[in-house]
Structure 1
Amino acid sequence: MHFIDSSPTCHRPLSTRIWLQLLALGIAIGLLMLSGCRAGGPGTPARTVSAFFAKYRDRPGFRTTEWSADLLQRLALVRVGKLLGGNDLTNAITGIRTARVMSFTPTSGSAQGLVREGLNNEVSGLLQAERYTSLVNSNGGAATYQYVVKASGDQVSELVATGALPDALGSFVLVQVQGNFTRSQAEALSKVLPEVVQQTAGK
């Protein structure tokens, strides 16, 4: 007498298992490629704004200016504030702990190579990874800046701006301001940053 085994089998055909393994491998490779695109860049991608400043400080085409390193830079900010802002701007300037700008112009072959290797993608990727939230857009002369902040409710601890230098093809500007501001104070500060960049970073 023959008995028919009706219990469910635990084995899939070999071809099915191979197909599933290949599918899983393809998904894994796709995710790795997507991650690389978001955080790409020359060498090891910077994961934070501070790491980006440290990585490129002495590279060809880059110029870094510390705005709060001495009292004279702070006074320059105050003078601009008196011309262009009110109490919110004055209070924002008072709340600054550190402020710096990095400008980049691809004026040499090595600097242009950084652009080809994904420099701009690196900047965009680290801002996405750090989960900043959008603030406002402000026009400074011919340059348009994008602003993001790290905030808890109405309290802002960091303002980051990205943009470009006027009449400098392929250039970009990265500004990092850390301190203690309200959102309205950060918005007031964002309106003067392009002018301050022009005064302190230039071309």
Structure 2
Amino acid sequence: MSTVRIDHLVTSGTFSLDGGTWDVDNNVWIVGDDDEAVVIDAAHDADAIVAALGGRRLVAVISTHAHDDHVDAAPALAERTGAPILLHPADRELWDRTHPDRAPDGELADGQVLTVAGVELHQIHTPGHSPGGVCLYAPALGTVFTGDTLFQGGPGATGRSFSDFPTIVESIRERLLTLPPATVVRTGHGDSTTVGDEAPHLQEWIDRGH
């Protein structure tokens, strides 16, 4: 069996919500071996993601949440590869704003496990940035993919529709900061961090009230 690895590419595009549009760079994570893989957040550029897959079988297109910058390339990637798009149902309203004519193929659910190349990805429902935000914890790889729930330096933004600051703080406190401190946090934008680096700052975030 070939070694499981995490490939990372950054794609660029826009994020639109509540009448505003912003230029953004997104992290796209590919987890798998030489034969099969999953894509976490198909952002902006299906061609670049297909190239990074390099002919491997795509098991699933996993959406940590349904903000348009994280799912805009998902239908094209699914069409190119035949892989199902998976999304937590609580984010379906957001999804439908971007892709009204293309439903996701399956649902993510708290506690479920998706296996790729022999590695388990545990689904952790972490609402707050959006109602259906999901993080994916891979114990064997010592990493968690947090989408826009937890970044280096604090929680994801909660200033727009469908988001709530107390909810995201509770999600991070109860579901993410309880993971082993050495767990690498691979985020939806920007640099990675670790659970141990972020945990001491929880009260600061609360006091700051992002």
TM-score interval (norm. to shorter): under 0.3
Higher helix share: 1
Question: TM-score scaled to structure 1, two decimals?
Answer: 0.26
Q: Which is bigger in relative contact order (C-alpha 8 A, separation at least 6)?
A: 1
Q: TM-score, with normalisation over the residues of structure 2?
A: 0.26
Which protein is richer in strand relative to its size? Answer: 2
